[in-house]
Structure 1
Amino acid sequence: MNSRGPVYVVDDNIDMCLSLKALLEACEFEVDTFNSPTLFLEAIERLEPGVVLLDLRMPEMSGLEVLAQMNGFVERFPVIFITAHGEIDVAVKAIKMGAKDFLQKPFDDDALIGVIEQEMSGLQSNGDVGTTSETPRLHSLSPREREVVEALAQGLPNKVIANRLGLSVRTVEMHRARAMSRLQCRTFADLLRVVLRQGGETPQGREFGSTAE
């Protein structure tokens, strides 16, 4: 008998639903699948709180549209986006709207299970899985690292950030990796949440490249 869960898979791709269901049930999660986002939204009031694996691009409605319609249910149904597309700006928008993570296909099975378990722990502890006081502050970053992460929080891709700061893409990636390490972030979504929560999003119109590398 399944002892963990529930996890709700919302994806118009039947093969993906079946694949995720098999993987998660093998890890003893209780799994329900929805090939239609409309059916999921219609059922959500009757569902037990659990983690939602939500496809970003579906013909009926996008994952972002589904998230917007979940309204007051997000706290009881933490959303993890799964997508074949890795647009930074979409990831930023999803996190701002309340998504917990953003995984790009093909994703590592262990990484997916780890994110689900983290969100399950949050549900079981009523969402109290850490406070901002326990989170390393942005001022622990170097000026250049902070410029990079604030630009990422605007939804700018690495190439654009590199051009604006006069750096190579490789150097931008290096600063991003160092910032994630300093802020103890396992995923890009973790990094975005730290920046946005601590008021670090760069205001529109700010000039980049004002600090030394």
Structure 2
Amino acid sequence: MTSTIHIVDDDSDFRDALAWLLDSRGHPTCTWAGGDVFLQSLQARSPGSAWPAAVVLLDIRMEPVSGLSVFESLKAMGCPWPVLFITGHGDVTMAVAAVKNGAWDFLEKPFQNNVLVDKVEAALASVQSVEALQAQRLSEALAQLSQREREVLDELLAGHYNKNIADHLGITPRTVEFHRANLFVKMGVSSAVELAHLLGRHGLR
């Protein structure tokens, strides 16, 4: 599965150079002129939806929202993406502290292109490993669903509400709620939207 690399930097020339470098190495990118617009895009996600696979390259010094503030917001959102900080010489202490606080790694300017690409690809490998494990877990969880739970799942994925599902399957809405709760527990999700996103992302629908 292809993972997007989000480049968040308020220096347009540097941002475009990073995008060109990574695109030339076969890594799709998405650029953001600042932490504020990047966070706004994430806050606009559907509530309860699964996070697509991605890595973040984040400048530590930006206006009006610093890279460190963006990182704290990502953690508060429960965003699982590895974050690599781009730092100047005077920011190394902050970057080290961020790594201890959960960031993936950091790069100090100036850096060699190959060093950047190597670090990004290491982060991508970690994402892909997590994705593979998640796909395996979902596939095994699907296999453990009962026939009735699979029927309720199919109805949920078709966008039907509990009352409609009850009518279609000839059972009561309370029974639908029971099966729905059970399959959510088995699949490790909290909503039908999250489940639909996960199954679609891993080609398990």
Please classify the TM superposition score into its range, dividing by the shorter chain length.
Answer: 0.5 to 0.7
Give the equivalent residue in structure 1 for 2:106: 102
Give the equivalent residue in structure 1 for 2:3: 5
Give the equivalent residue in structure 2 for 1:113: 117
Q: Give the letter aligned to residue 7 of structure 2.
A: V
Structure 1 residue runs of 4 or more that deviate by more than 3 Å after TM superposition: 72-75
Mapped pair 1:93 → 2:127: no
- In 2, distance between residues paired with 1:20 and 1:92? 22
- In 1, distance between residues paired with 2:127 and 2:77? 12
Contact kept? 2:55, 2:82, Cα under 8 Å: yes
User: Residues 164-190 of structure 1, C-alpha deviation per residue, up to 9 Å, x if partnerless?
Assistant: xxxxxxxxxxxxxxxxxxxxxxxxxxx
Higher helix content, 1 or 2: 2
Contact kept? 2:53, 2:131, Cα under 8 Å: no
Distance 1:82 1:27, change over 3 A: same
- In 1, distance between residues paired with 2:97 and 2:131? 21
Deviation at 1:83, TM superposition (A): 1.5
Give the equivalent residue in structure 1 for 2:25: 27
Distance 1:8 1:25, change over 3 A: same
Please identify the structure whose Cα radius of gyration is greater.
2
Distance 1:69 1:115, change over 3 A: same
Match of 1:83 among 87, 94, 99: 87
Match of 1:18 among 11, 16, 19: 16
Deviation at 1:76, TM superposition (A): 2.5
Distance 1:4 1:23, change over 3 A: farther
Contact kept? 2:87, 2:95, Cα under 8 Å: no
- In 1, distance between residues paired with 2:90 and 2:106? 9
- In 2, distance between residues paired with 1:87 and 1:11? 15
Mapped pair 1:64 → 2:68: yes
Q: Give the letter aligned to residue 40 of structure 1.
A: F
Q: Give the letter aligned to residue 33 of structure 1.
A: T
Give the equivalent residue in structure 2 for 1:158: none
- In 2, distance between residues paired with 1:6 and 1:85? 28
TM-score (norm 2): 0.56
Distance 1:42 1:103, change over 3 A: same
Give the equivalent residue in structure 2 for 1:194: none
Give the equivalent residue in structure 2 for 1:37: 35
Task: Please list every run of 5 or more consecutive structure 1 residues that lacks an aligned counterpart in the other structure.
Answer: 129-213
Across the two proteins, how many residue pairs are aligned to each other? 127
Match of 1:52 among 36, 53, 56: 56
- In 1, distance between residues paired with 2:90 and 2:104? 15
Root-mean-square deviation (CA, aligned residues, Å) is 2.4
Contact kept? 2:82, 2:104, Cα under 8 Å: yes
Q: Secondary structure at the match of 2:115?
A: helix
Q: Give the letter aligned to residue 25 of structure 1.
A: D
Deviation at 1:71, TM superposition (A): 1.6
